[in-house]
Amino acid sequence: MSSDHSPNNPSQITMVLPSGERIYRIPAWIKRVVQDLTVSPAYDAVFWNPPVDEVHKFQHARPKKPESLRIYEAHVGISSPETRVATYKEFTKNMLPRIKYLGYNAIQLMAIMEHAYYASFGYQVNNFFAASSRYGSPEDLKELVDTAHGMGLIVLLDVVHSHASKNVIDGINEFDGTDHLYFHGGAKGRHELWDSRLFNYGNHEVLRFLLSNLRFWMEEYKFDGYRFDGVTSMLYTHHGIGTYVHYPTMFLKNLLTKRNSGFSGGYHEYFGPAVDEEGVTYLTLANQMLHELYPDCITVAEDVSGMPALCLPHALGGAGFDYRLAMAIPDMWIKLLKESTDDEWDMGSISFTLTNRRHGEKTIAYAESHDQA
């Protein structure tokens, strides 16, 4: 294994399989990977160990946990009006002051965990411990978070633990030559619509990997919490595939399983055989660990199934999330704006959608988001 933070000296590990075949893999815990399109579209791992004077030293403490969140959802790469990939430094200079001026108190950063497929918006993660090198260096991302903290802004990472890229050469799929080191083997370990791999949350090594990943981003980059992507897929063995969701005045087919199945609200749907108990246990463990280690940590669940007690503390039998997303709200707004004239807006339907939430559980109601149907 080579070790140099120069991109010209990639780091790999090699293994000999029982069959005698020698395979080469990027270390699963690597902190930086880079891409040279003049050579190959595949990413190479580099050992990131910059000189001491180039390491970012955090100047600002994390802001106190706000009583209510006003979240600005952002993607660093598309934060410029120019037709190119923007950088961490440009976001720090140009976007942070604007976000602060507009009155937000939190930023949710998408597409930070390294992903080979840029058009996936960061949701096909290859390297879970590596900040995307498209936008700059790890130190540049630390500077972004630190500067945001200095402005009183908390920074949430959009973390993807619901699935992983199926890439082998520059991902963790088939890391040891099998299909079941980090994931379920066979068809159970493949998401047929996302074309990606599904974690085996009952495997202790998987739990160690994912829980360590959560702590890593909190410690290394000083993030303030997480928006957990694809929680509905993690909660149920059907992952929401081939099902429907009914909102007042609209009936949407869920092609990407971001929206929930046709839940009636009956408890048999939430606590029956379709529930992935290992997925629920992992999410509960993750919340318990984060809130014990970082009392002001904020966790947000992208769940649209209405799973009861998802946002109640573990001591009360819940999974421990602080908030859930009200995904129907941005869907409602975009549908009204695109398909209805002002006089056709149904005030009763709008009121119901805005207030349709579980009693006692905090909900984030986006005006708009990247998930709008």
Helix (H, G, I), strand (E, B), or coil: what is residue 152?
A: coil
Indicate if 302 belongs to the active site.
Answer: yes
The Cα–Cα gap between 248 and 140 comes to 45
- Given 302, 303, 361, 371, the catalytic residue: 302
Burial of 59 (0-12, 13-18, 19+ CB in 10 A): exposed
Tokens 């660093």 locate to 76
Indicate if 229 belongs to the active site.
Answer: yes
The Cα–Cα gap between 324 and 339 comes to 27
State how far the alpha carbon of 310 is from the alpha carbons of 157, 271, 290, 314, 324, in Å: 19, 12, 15, 9, 8
The Cα–Cα gap between 195 and 237 comes to 16
Taking the C-alpha atoms of 169, 172, 176 and 179 in order, what is their torsion angle to the nearest 10 degrees?
-100
First to last CA, the chain: 45
Sequence-separated (6 or more) residues with CB below 8 Å from residue 353: 247, 248, 328, 329, 332
The Cα–Cα gap between 215 and 253 comes to 36
Cβ–Cβ < 8 Å for 320, 249: no
What is the pairing mode between strands 40-45 and 33-36? Answer: antiparallel
The Cα–Cα gap between 338 and 135 comes to 33
Taking the C-alpha atoms of 289, 290, 292 and 293 in order, what is their torsion angle to the nearest 10 degrees?
110
Cβ–Cβ < 8 Å for 42, 51: no
Candidates 334, 270, 268; CA nearest to 303 is: 270
Active-site residue list? 229, 302
